[in-house]
Amino acid sequence: MYLTKEEQEMCDGEYGETIRKSMDILVALGDIYGASKLVDITSAQVSGVSYKTIGEAGLEYLQDLAQDGSGKATINASLNPPGTDLDNWKELGFPEYFAIKQNEIVDAYANLGIAKTCTCTPYLVGNVPRFRDHVSWSESSAVAYVNSVIGARSNREGGPAALAAAIVGKTPLYGFHLDQNRKANLVVDVTTELSGADFGALGYIIGKFVGGGIPYFKLQNTPNNNNLKTLGAALASSGSVALYHVEDVTPEFNNNHVEEIEDIMFITDKEITETRESLTTTDKEIDLVCLGCPHASLEEIKEVASVVKGKTIKNKLWICTSVSVKATADRMGYTQIIEAAGGNIVCDTCMVVAPIEEMGFEVIGVNSAKAANYVPSMCGLDVVYGDVENLIQFE
Ligand code: F3S
């Protein structure tokens, strides 16, 4: 990979150890994937934040990287969800040992200049690239969103690579950064109208089929941004989709020669219904309904508030989101309505990266196919998949 004189000096340690180690990662990646050079980025989103997933080794790596203070993120960079609500972990019942470690991890990232905006939907709260910007994001659902809905360009980075890119302000130029790699190779013709959790079921089916491919959807009804984040999260979890197009909706749909794509798949109401049913793993009662995967938008919180207003929830309810979205929900009175019904808006974390298996829960109700896919494998708990109205039980 070609390096400028300045980049070579970074590799040689002339800008300090943090930058040298970061360049090591970027150059190795560039060489593996045949990148021609590094390209400037405007944004980074760094995963590998929960103590549950990175543990002591991850914490030590971050503290070591930050040790000489020689390198900090040079561009807009934010964190993925940690394993706790950073402020209200005690009230919500998170284990103390875990919360202490979790805060050390987030502090270590902050020492490297990564904002404590802990969310998998940074595009809702200030980390919003422009169309065609090169970025380095690592949360898979966010990568799908930033490529597909915003039209910025990111590979599915690992946490350390996104961190290195944030510090250097560059990433290797290959893969989804290049126009020729952003064309669809499968047309998905959906013959039924979709709503709510149907979008997750659709993403789950197609992700499994297409793996790392690029699907082009023809839909009967126009999805909103919440539908698209649900769809992308599912595509990126049952498969490894980083980019999809939706006809007449996403910004690059017109760059595809759809008529030349030979692989066409038809999805009917029957497949959506069967997939929805298959994502439920138990017929036991739900003890925690967990919404906000990917992290909830203000509109989604508003919808839940309207469902629970004036009622008493029988099972527990968490709506996971960022601190910024919750602050607005507080001002709008949604938080008060949800809390009066017995639910909680939980900041920063989510049902997959939190240690919910240590908190006495057994059956989790979710409206996200990504969560339905990961809660059994990462938490060892059962899930019930459905729409908000079916999951929440009232007294
Ligand atoms: Fe976000 Fe957690 Fe889902 S990181 S996409 S809420 S699994």
Tens digits of residue pLDDT in 79-99: 999 999 999 999 999 999 999
Give domain limits for the chain. 5-179, 183-277, 281-391
Q: Which CATH number fits domain 281-391: 3.30.450.20, 3.40.50.1110, 3.30.499.10, 3.40.50.300?
A: 3.30.499.10
Protein residue closest via CA to atom 2 of ligand 1: 350
369 close to ligand 1 (CB < 6 Angstrom): no
Evaluate whether the domain defined by 183-277 bears CATH number 3.30.420.40. no
Tens digits of residue pLDDT in 251-262: 999 999 899 999
Tens digits of residue pLDDT in 117-160: 999 999 999 999 999 999 999 999 999 999 999 999 999 999 99
Ligand 1 atom with least separation from CA of 140: 5
Q: How far is the CA of 15 from the centre of ligand 1 (A)?
A: 35
Protein residue closest via CA to atom 5 of ligand 1: 294
Average pLDDT of 186-203? 98
Rounded Cα distance between 115 and 112, Å, is: 9
Architecture of domain 5-179: 2-Layer Sandwich (3.30)
Average pLDDT of 354-369? 96
Q: Is 299's pLDDT higher than 90?
A: yes
Q: How far is the CA of 298 from the centre of ligand 1 (A)?
A: 16
141 close to ligand 1 (CB < 6 Angstrom): yes
Equal fold, 5-179 vs 281-391: yes
Q: How far is the CA of 68 from the centre of ligand 1 (A)?
A: 32
Confidence class of residue 68 from pLDDT cuts 50, 70 and 90?
A: confident
According to the model, what pLDDT value does residue 26 have? 98
Smallest CA-to-CA distance from 238 within 212, 263, 215 is with: 212
Confidence class of residue 387 from pLDDT cuts 50, 70 and 90?
A: very high
Query: Residue written as tokens 């919440």?
Result: 226
Q: Is 53's pLDDT higher than 90?
A: yes
Ligand 1 atom with least separation from CA of 371: 7
Protein residue closest via CA to atom 7 of ligand 1: 352
356 close to ligand 1 (CB < 6 Angstrom): no
Average pLDDT of 71-86? 97
Percent of the chain with pLDDT over 70: 100
According to the model, what pLDDT value does residue 67 have? 86
Q: How far is the CA of 6 from the centre of ligand 1 (A)?
A: 37
Collapsing DSSP to helix, strand or coil, 241 comes out as coil
52 close to ligand 1 (CB < 6 Angstrom): no
- For residue 159, count CB atoms less than 10 angstroms from its CB and return exposed for 0-12, middle for 13-18, buried for 19 or more: buried
Percent of the chain with pLDDT over 90: 98
Q: How far is the CA of 350 from the centre of ligand 1 (A)?
A: 6
Using an 8 Å Cβ cutoff, are 144 and 242 in contact? yes
Count other C-beta atoms under 10 Å from residue 128's C-beta. Answer: 15
Q: How far is the CA of 349 from the centre of ligand 1 (A)?
A: 8
Ligand 1 atom with least separation from CA of 142: 5
Q: How far is the CA of 294 from the centre of ligand 1 (A)?
A: 5
Using an 8 Å Cβ cutoff, are 149 and 248 in contact? no
Confidence class of residue 217 from pLDDT cuts 50, 70 and 90?
A: very high
Confidence class of residue 69 from pLDDT cuts 50, 70 and 90?
A: confident
Parallel/antiparallel/unpaired status of strands 363-366 and 288-291: parallel
According to the model, what pLDDT value does residue 285 have? 95
Probe target for ligand 1 pocket from 79, 346, 370, with the most ligand atoms within 8 Å of CB: 370
Tokens for 156? 């599915």
According to the model, what pLDDT value does residue 233 have? 98
Average pLDDT, the chain: 97
Ligand 1 atom with least separation from CA of 368: 3
Tens digits of residue pLDDT in 239-294: 999 999 999 999 999 999 899 999 999 999 999 999 999 999 999 999 999 999 99
Q: Is 70's pLDDT higher than 90?
A: no
